[in-house]
Chain A
Amino acid sequence: MESKRELILAFESSCDETSVAVIEDGTKILSNIIATQINSHKRFGGVVPEVASRHHVEYVTRCTEDAMKAANVTYDDLTAVAVTYGPGLVGSLLIGVTAAKTIAYAHHLPLIPVNHMAGHIYAARYVKPLEYPLLALLVSGGHTELVYMKAAGEFEIIGDTRDDAAGEAYDKIGRVLGIPYPAGKEVDRLAHLGHDTFNFPRAMIHEDNDDFSFSGLKSAFINTVHHADQIGEKLSREDLAASFQAAVIDVLVTKTIRVAKRLGIKQLVVAGGVAANQGLRERLAQVVKDEHLDLDVVFPPLRLCGDNGAMVGAAAHIELQKKHFAGLDLNADPSLEFAYAATYQP
């Protein structure tokens, strides 16, 4: 008899995307419906949590229906239901958690709780199998972390930002340049048209730890622009963007490569919204080539760098093997974090 396919229905609603996916064996995306609220939050210059929660209620069953139809599966075919339960905005998380629990209960399916950040890392599984020990650079609007994975489904933070996340810094300097939220893509585009002429600070780049800091860079950027405004000088937006991006990438790449070498890592996964940044992708590839490093750098496909259900399904595949299930009392955990490594010293 043919063995049954493992099919996971996966929910993601931690911020401003409602997404539902159907994933086969943790490696094959049968459907990955993503409803984005960007046009709504653009009005306010950033995500408004109450507005985000309201949109999720409008879209969660619609996305589920579309995901099931696109995958051409029935509830009887499913193996499990998975959902992001943190970190994120609590009101947003609750919609995915509530819908996922209800579907799991109604169809007598096991429920798999997934850490959103694990999802971002496992988005790379759609490129190739992951090899452990593995290092992940997680860069998004809320996180900038170096995560060490000894084995599948095991995560330890070995480096973290002391203040702003890298993606947050992009949004804040984007606002100064008059770029609508979210600013990352446009700053990246402008950076490719300019040159690093402002020499912004590379915070902590030579310090003997694996942490990051971006608030000093953000302040230096804002001060430079304000000072020019006051004396009536017009600065090149392209050069400003290029200088900012060069500073961010210098720090991210230098520290990440240093850790990879020290730990003898063979595979580096770059994940999270900022993993879509072309400048970061190009620089990492260049460094690996120039230094002849035996390091396989894996970036998830662009569509899977932002929040999506497919990444949740890939992470859930590992949790399913470990039989990590949740009960009907599963709650959202907005401040869920990986544990810090025993050796980590802030």
Chain B
Amino acid sequence: MNILAMDTSNRALSVAVLSDDRILAEKTTDVNKNHSTTLLPAIDQILKDSHLTSDQIDRFVVAQGPGSYTGLRIGVTTAKTFAFTLHKELVGVSSLASLAGNIRHTNALLVPLFDARRDNVFTGVYQRDDHGQLTNVVSDKHVPVAALIAQLKMLNEDIIFIGTDVAHFAERFRAAFGQQAHFADDEANLPHASELGLLGAQKEAVKDIHAFIPHYLRRTQAENDWLKTHSDKGHQPYVEEV
């Protein structure tokens, strides 16, 4: 099975081509550029490097979130459009799981995170089981950093924090967890679409490609404000073909 995997959920861009469990090509950049201009050229390049065309891809795997809303939409729209228009499989993988997957050969808690501003993070807790399989311990969510620290204290295990945004909180993690706090290296802090592809190879394909959307993990501010005084039940369809 040929897989094309893509991650545009944060500043970094990563794309990879896999054939079964073999990584044929991967390209990862971490420069502040618009993913809209860089994603398809990057895909074009690694497909050419792999001597494949897009219609020879059997499964499109995308980092489904959380992350930057605009970045997620570019990746998700690209992946779902490929799968839809070429009648191929589509799989979404957590952007956080993909980062956690960068760390192998440990049974420490794996805590990937993205800065969500105002002292909040998008994070989840992962761990490798006895067979080395990545498992999800605490599901992905949007939480205050203080709440994450409190939750991790209860688990009382060695922790590896992962992601380029971890640096913003490193002092607080050291103060809270002392010797139990560990930090991933630069290589593991970047998303790697090859890891995303390997995780995506194990999942079931999406049933309804049209309905596939990013896991933003947050409602918009406008909707939150509206819901304070209104009910979301029994309304007309918000979007309708006319």
Q: Interface on A for B, CB 8 Å cutoff? A: 18, 33-37, 39-40, 43-44, 48, 50-51, 53-55, 57-66, 75, 91, 94-95, 97-99, 101-103, 105-107, 327-332
Contact = CB atoms under 8 A, between A and B. Distances in A.
Contacts, number: 127
A34 B242 CA distance: 6
B101 to A, nearest CB: 25
Given A50-B69, A329-B37, A329-B38, A44 B81 contact: no
B82 A102 contact: yes
Given A65-B210, A98-B81, A328-B44, A48 B241 contact: no
Contact of A43 (B78, B226, B239): B226
Contacts of A64: 81, 84-85
Given A39-B239, A94-B73, A105-B44, A61 B220 contact: no
Given A98-B77, A103-B85, A48 B54 contact: no
Nearest to A50: B220
Contact of B214 (A36, A57, A330): A57
Contact of B70 (A61, A75, A91, A327): A91
B93 interface: no
Interface of B: 34, 36-38, 40-41, 43-44, 54-55, 69-70, 73-74, 76-78, 80-82, 84-86, 209-211, 213-214, 216, 220-223, 226, 230, 235-242
Contacts of B237: 39
A62 B239 CA distance: 12
A43 B240 CA distance: 15
11 contacts: A36-B239, A39-B239, A40-B239, A43-B230, A44-B226, A51-B222, A58-B239, A61-B81, A94-B74, A330-B37, A331-B37
B234 to A, nearest CB: 13
B88 to A, nearest CB: 10
B86 A48 contact: no
B147 to A, nearest CB: 24
A58 B213 contact: yes
A33 to B, nearest CB: 6
